[in-house]
Amino acid sequence: MADVFAYLDYRAFLRDVYAEKKALGRGFSFRAFSRLAGLRSPNYLKLVIDGERNLSDQMAPRFATALGLRDDAARYFVDLVAFNQAKDAAARNAAYTRLTGFRRYRSAHRLELAHAAYHSTWYLPAIRELAARCDFEAEPEWIAPRLRPPISKDEAKSALATLFELGLLVTGEDGRVSQGEALVSTGPETRGHHIGNYHRMMMSRAAASIDDVPAAERDVSSLTLCVGGKGLAEIKDRIQKFRRELLELSTRESDPREVVQINFQLFPLTKAEKTPARKAKAPR
């Protein structure tokens, strides 16, 4: 049977298990599964696979039992359901932490864990950008004290290992370490989870900078505006254009020295309402 530890989407696991058992031709069907799980609905499994039904906290263990999962595999399946169906970031993070606690998960998703570390540890992106300096040294002793706030040498060593593993740092033929061209991308099951954590982490660093960084070394500002649909779309376009301009500016730097973080946030403070239709004027 398919290895549940290889999955980060429980519906995909159920779909593959069903197809596998069906192919064996041993009388397995949606109705047969419902009998094993003690379900009244004969097509409950199909509804779950198709995303039309979720699994409750009580139903997930029953599914695990009906699938023949035991011990860690059963617990992993239950936690996987919790991760996929979490309603907020706190619940999703808690479930993901439980998933990564399984040894067989760590073995099957080594690269996924490296991506998770990159998106949840502020100094990994910082170290990658630090490698743009011509005097960069890929040594924990050189890196650790240059970050703000400083990190430990062990943290720097672990960060370097992750960056090399992801191809974000590479060693050239001359022995010099520089930025790699690898794309930091995760699977669709965890992409939103990791990107959300990354933005929360960097916004937290921005909040801390108000107290930790002198005003002359930072720029923290905001605007509260009332705009219409067209104005909102134009603001988004301008932010995207400005972001591209800053990226281009950084590529023209001949002697980059300091790593900085620039965040962009745009979010509503009121509920969107449909514009009421204007009443036609009555003829005179």
The mean per-residue pLDDT over the stretch 131-143 comes to 95
The mean per-residue pLDDT over the stretch 163-173 comes to 89
pLDDT single digits (tens) 256-279? 999 999 999 999 999 987 766 666
In a domain, 217, yes or no: no
Q: Which one of 210, 225, 254 terminates a domain?
A: 210
In a domain, 256, yes or no: no
Checking if the pLDDT of 213 tops 90, the result is yes
Q: Is the peptide bond before 42 cis (omega within 30 degrees of 0)?
A: no
Q: Could you tell me the residue range of the domain that residue 140 belongs to?
A: 110-210
In a domain, 252, yes or no: no
In a domain, 42, yes or no: yes
- 94/21 same-domain check: yes
Closest of 236, 231, 237 to residue 275, by C-alpha: 231
pLDDT for 258 = 94
Q: Which one of 81, 108, 135 terminates a domain?
A: 108
pLDDT for 189 = 61
Name the more confident of 217 and 27.
217
Q: What is the mean pLDDT of the chain?
A: 87
Checking if the pLDDT of 183 tops 70, the result is no
| Domain total of the chain | 2
Report the share of the chain in percent with pLDDT over 90.
52
pLDDT for 182 = 56
Q: How many residues does the chain have?
A: 284
The mean per-residue pLDDT over the stretch 175-185 comes to 75
Name the more confident of 32 and 236.
236
In a domain, 96, yes or no: yes
pLDDT for 32 = 84
- 143/60 same-domain check: no
- 92/162 same-domain check: no
- 37/75 same-domain check: yes
pLDDT for 168 = 87
Name the more confident of 118 and 170.
170
- 87/138 same-domain check: no
pLDDT for 191 = 65
- 97/151 same-domain check: no
Q: Which one of 91, 108, 125 terminates a domain?
A: 108
Closest of 156, 158, 177, 157 to residue 168, by C-alpha: 177
- 104/134 same-domain check: no
Q: What is the CATH number of the domain that holds 56?
A: 1.10.260
Checking if the pLDDT of 186 tops 60, the result is no
Checking if the pLDDT of 33 tops 60, the result is yes
- 96/159 same-domain check: no
- 85/172 same-domain check: no
- 96/12 same-domain check: yes
Checking if the pLDDT of 95 tops 60, the result is yes
In a domain, 243, yes or no: no
- 49/93 same-domain check: yes
In a domain, 160, yes or no: yes
In a domain, 240, yes or no: no
Checking if the pLDDT of 194 tops 80, the result is no
Determine which of 44-48, 117-121, 212-216, 236-240 has the lowest per-residue pLDDT on average: 117-121
- 86/22 same-domain check: yes
pLDDT single digits (tens) 63-81? 999 888 999 999 999 999 9
- Band the pLDDT of 181: cuts 50, 70, 90: confident
